[in-house]
Amino acid sequence: MTRPQTTRRKRANGVESRQRILDAAVEIAGERGYEGTSIAAVSAKCGLPASSIYWHFKDKDDLIAAVIERSFETWLTALVLPGEETGTPLERATAMAANVAKALVDAPDFLRLGLMLALERRPVEPRGRTVFLQVREISRRRIGEVIRTLAPDLDEDAAHTLADYAVAGADGLFIHREIAGDAFDLVAMFALHARLVYEAALRMTARSGG
């Protein structure tokens, strides 16, 4: 169990093979969904035999979960959050939304696959679906915090509702871009979305507070 810290990882393939398998799997799963992702197809696409896939991953469910996890990390890496001294609160909110949209354009696999899994309701839930829903829930809470920061006088229910509305809108806009293609400017639409949510928060505050 004492693993040697000297740089040994060169004898066959190892880490690189795992990446190749995940690369192939994310492509096929994004095309055909959970059930449509066959081990044989992944094997053919990455050039490694099925036994290698099963050496790296326990079973198909484990593979899909790993795909979700890695594509989420890829998306997180692509996501650059702006500094805090940018301008008005509205400008900061729209800039943040625009950066999320940019990351989604650069790394769409996470949300595409996650939404596919989220819409399915099979008797035994795939682990990848659970992972996605957890990440989604965390995002929802974070958006809720941002909303409460930007509109501190908003009551709890309204902030919760607006956070739900914000994530739902993000999902919907992403899907619309997946359908409509590059012609749909996701970054601009996310900025618009952020503005509408922000203005709604202001109006709701004024209504309940005054």
Partner DNA sequence: CTCCAATTGGAATGATCGCTACAGCAAGAG
Partner DNA sequence: CTCTTGCTGTAGCGATCATTCCAATTGGAG
Which residues inside 14-73 make contact with DNA, applying CB under 7 A? Answer: 14-15, 17, 37-41, 47-52, 54-56, 59-61
Closest CB 47 distance from DNA, rounded Å: 7
* 157-184 CB burial, b ≥16 within 10 A, e <16: ebbbbbbebbbebbeebbeebbeeeeee
Q: Is 48 in the site for its own copies (CB under 8 A)?
A: no
User: Which amino acid is present at 42?
Assistant: V
Nearer to DNA, 41 or 79 (CB): 41
Per CB under 8 A, the segment of 15-23, 56-64, 74-82, 176-184 that binds its own copies is 176-184
Which residue bears the tokens 């979700």?
68
- Name the residue among 151, 149, 162 with its Cα closest to residue 209: 151
Binding partner of residue 50 among its own copies, DNA, none, CB under 5 to 8 Å per kind? DNA
Could you say whether residue 11 binds DNA (CB under 7 A)?
yes
Least separation in angstroms between residue 38's CB and DNA is: 3
Residue with smaller CB distance to DNA, 47 or 172: 47
Smallest distance, DNA to C-beta of residue 207, A: 53
Near its own copies in 3-42, by CB under 8 A: 30-36
184 binds its own copies (CB under 8 A): yes
Residue 100 engages its own copies in binding (rule: CB under 8 A) = no
- Residues in contact with DNA by CB under 7 A are 4, 6, 8-15, 17, 37-41, 47-52, 54-56, 59-61
